[in-house]
Amino acid sequence: MQAETIINSKMNGKMSSKITKIQNTASMGALLLDAGKISVRDAERIIALQKQNGMLFGDAAKELGLVTDDDIQKALSYQFDFPFLTGSEENISRELVAAYEPMSMQVEALRAVRGQLMLRWFDDIHKTLTLVSLSRGEGRSLMAANLAIVFSQLGERTLLIDADLRQPRQHTLFKLQSIYGLSDVLAGRADLTVITRIPAFRDLSILPAGTVPPNPVELISRGLKTCLQELQTQFDVILIDTPPAEQAIDAQIIASNCGGALLVVRQHKTRMNDLQLLKEALQDTGSQCLGVVLTDF
């Protein structure tokens, strides 16, 4: 690797991220009350104990056995405008650590990748990025999904597109029910209203792959560029999951329409010579290789 910036972030790495934006000024009590976790009578008991012992509202509520740690963490996520899911929620796959374990070392590494991309790629001109891997099983789809979540947690209007029209996975990770998606949009069978908002993350939307077509290369070649041009007026960050490069030429075509690609490789699996050839193939299409993310999950 010579000219590009290498983002070599193992998913068990550690990096501090302490920029927090407070949007919701509702009190802890009001949030717990609105969520149905406590009643008005409960709130009165909590306030009495809070005043008596000089405790925080949440600590007093836990002391009385009225709420759990998950309830408190959920309320804090609203107060600090930092959405995530608690262990009791199963809205999306547990494999998406950015949604369930925002303080883990894995997610700190994801934030490090996000920070590099914000500094070196995403701006008013560059809004789309392709994630490319050589073969299946290298963590590309998980990386795309987790990155989409951490971008949305930053307040960026984020769209994740599943452009793997051969063996799509994002609809499974996000537990989507829609049968329509990108392939249907490109074929003129549906419009962009098939994009699904993820309720738990207000700035995150998903465009699933949709119907598995008999002609994925032709669909992508003739319609993706126009589709992306329209989407760039609606979103700040567009991440695109692709089929493995060794399986088909789809990833190279998609990357050429985005201008930038992030390579995803797996520790002890991807060969350096193969990675170099993939990098050169992407550059031949006019796509800039922004770096490499090394995964071990």
Task: Please report where in the chains the tokens 């972030």 appear, as a residue.
Answer: 9
Q: What is the pLDDT of residue 194?
A: 96
Q: What distance in Å separates the CA atoms of residue 143 and residue 295, rounded to the nearest whole number?
A: 8
Position 199 in a domain? yes
Secondary element (H or E) of residue 116: helix 105-120
Could you tell me if 102 and 75 lie in one domain? no
Q: What is the mean pLDDT of the chain?
A: 87
Could you tell me if 246 and 170 lie in one domain? yes
Position 153 in a domain? yes
Q: What distance in Å separates the CA atoms of residue 256 and residue 282, rounded to the nearest whole number?
A: 8
Question: pLDDT tens for residues 171-220?
Answer: 999 999 888 999 999 999 999 999 999 988 989 999 999 999 999 999 99
List the domain range (segments joined by +) for residue 45: 28-79
Q: What distance in Å separates the CA atoms of residue 225 and residue 222, rounded to the nearest whole number?
A: 8
Specify the DSSP class assigned to residue 5: P
More confident residue, 195 or 61: 195
Q: What is the pLDDT of residue 29?
A: 83
Could you tell me if 201 and 159 lie in one domain? yes
Could you tell me if 44 and 102 lie in one domain? no
Q: Across residues 90-117, what is the average pLDDT? A: 92
pLDDT at 26 over 90: no
Could you tell me if 72 and 167 lie in one domain? no
Q: What is the largest CA-CA distance in the chain?
A: 70
Q: Across residues 36-55, what is the average pLDDT? A: 89
Q: What is the pLDDT of residue 147?
A: 97
Position 38 in a domain? yes
Residue 25 — very low, low, confident or very high, per pLDDT cuts 50/70/90? low
Q: What distance in Å separates the CA atoms of residue 146 and residue 159, rounded to the nearest whole number?
A: 12
Count Cβ neighbours within 10 Å for each residue of 79-105 and write b for 16 or more, e otherwise: eeebbbbeeeeeebbeebbbbbebeee
Could you tell me if 184 and 256 lie in one domain? yes
More confident residue, 76 or 98: 98
Position 15 in a domain? no
Percentage of the residues of the chain whose pLDDT score is greater than 70: 89
Q: What distance in Å separates the CA atoms of residue 93 and residue 170, rounded to the nearest whole number?
A: 10
Q: What distance in Å separates the CA atoms of residue 99 and residue 118, rounded to the nearest whole number?
A: 20
Could you tell me if 167 and 234 lie in one domain? yes
Position 3 in a domain? no
Beta bridge partners of 240: 130, 161
Position 8 in a domain? no
Could you tell me if 198 and 142 lie in one domain? yes
Could you tell me if 151 and 257 lie in one domain? yes
Q: How many domains does the chain have?
A: 2
Q: What distance in Å separates the CA atoms of residue 97 and residue 94, rounded to the nearest whole number?
A: 7
Position 281 in a domain? yes
Question: pLDDT tens for residues 245-276?
Answer: 998 899 999 999 999 999 999 888 888 898 99
Q: What is the pLDDT of residue 297?
A: 60
Q: Across residues 142-168, what is the average pLDDT? A: 96
Could you tell me if 48 and 148 lie in one domain? no
Could you tell me if 124 and 260 lie in one domain? yes
Beta strands in the chain (DSSP E): 128-132, 158-162, 196-197, 204-207, 237-241, 260-266, 288-295
Q: What is the pLDDT of residue 247?
A: 87
Percentage of the residues of the chain whose pLDDT score is greater than 90: 60
Position 16 in a domain? no
Could you tell me if 41 and 170 lie in one domain? no
Beta strands in 118-267 (DSSP E): 128-132, 158-162, 196-197, 204-207, 237-241, 260-266
Residue 245 sits at φ, ψ, to 5 deg, of: -65, -30
- Domain with residue 185: its CATH number is 3.40.50.300
